[in-house]
Amino acid sequence: MHLRLPGTPINPASSLHEPPTLKLYRATKNMRATVKAGVTYVRDLGGIDYGAKLAVERGDILGPRIVPAVQAIGPTGGHTDYQTLSGYNQDSHIPGITTSPLADGPTEATVRTRELHRAGAGVIKVMGTGGVWSPRDSPDHDGFSVEELRAIVREAKNRELPVASHAQGVNGIKNSIHAGVTSIEHGYAIDQEAIELMRAKGVWLVPTLLTGLTPPTSDNVPEYARTKKLRLQKNLKHNIAMAVKADVKIAMGTDSGVVPHGNNLRELSHFVDCGMTPMEAIVAGTSRAAELLRIEDRVGSVAVGKEADLVMTDTDPEQDIGALAEAKHIRMVVQEGSIVHSS
């Protein structure tokens, strides 16, 4: 997810006179909404720094504990490059972070990985393909080359960091798998060959169906983004259902921030629509997600010796998985043994 993003389509003109720190202050509201939705631990794949992680852990801010990517990285003209034809750069910088979101060639890609490790990243987020919201590329375009991705994976592995690849188009998905990434984020155009590669190499899929299936109806959605998203949605559910059927390792993620915060558990209903049982969907959001984050020894299941992160509901999710998407059914959230939300 992206805690610093507002959860609504962004009109660049509205932020022209806003200081970059304002987004971090607004993120505290998104953090509260996330916990109240029943989510106690997240990966933030670009936008939140190590300071936010510490603030939550020390009790200064109510929010989910965070594994931060700090900042996503990609090639010039790719999905981390938001410069428009006029020369205006839509993507404001993160206060205190001097690392460029752009890297070209294996050497620069290696340097960016080292800089992000230095800045406190717990995961490296890369662009394996273009995307919907960036103005000059497409989900069908490759992002980083295989050589650049391999350089990042090699350096991240040296520093014991997983690599998450934003990869929507099928060629970029395969490039990312061949390079050795830990997880594919989105994976909307995945095909049978890519599925078999993922199974063979143990690569995770985080389908972010909540974002992928949300229709681009807002007036603030640029026409280029609307066109790209509608094209992606045509076969999205079918493709992810193939991955579910093939038993690819799947963990829950939502891309919240691109869509509204606080609706995170609606993702579980989408999983069921793609062929999971309700319990398989719950496991994808708990123990399997913890395994992807490499914290399964601490959280993700109820067991003696683990930190008590618990969600109490007034409905049986095996009977009505969709009810978890409504905040009124989340009656209590416990984080590390302390009640952080009750209703």
pLDDT digits (tens, 9 = 90+) for 47-106: 999 999 999 999 999 999 999 999 999 999 999 998 888 887 776 677 788 899 999 999
Beta bridge partners of 250: 205
CA angle 184, 185, 186 (to 5 degrees): 115
Q: Which of 80, 82, 78, 168 is nearest to 116 (CA)?
A: 80
Amino acid at 155: E
User: Tens of pLDDT along 13-34?
Assistant: 667 788 888 888 999 999 999 9
Query: What does pTM read for this prediction?
Result: 0.95
Range from 22-26, 118-122, 139-143, 298-302 carrying the lowest mean pLDDT: 22-26
Angle at which helices 192-201 and 170-179 pack, to 10 degrees? 20
DSSP assigned state of 208: -
Phi-psi domain of 7 (left: phi exceeds 0; alpha: psi -120 through 50; beta: other): left
Phi-psi domain of 3 (left: phi exceeds 0; alpha: psi -120 through 50; beta: other): alpha
> What is the average pLDDT value for the chain, to the nearest integer?
94
End-to-end CA distance of the chain: 25
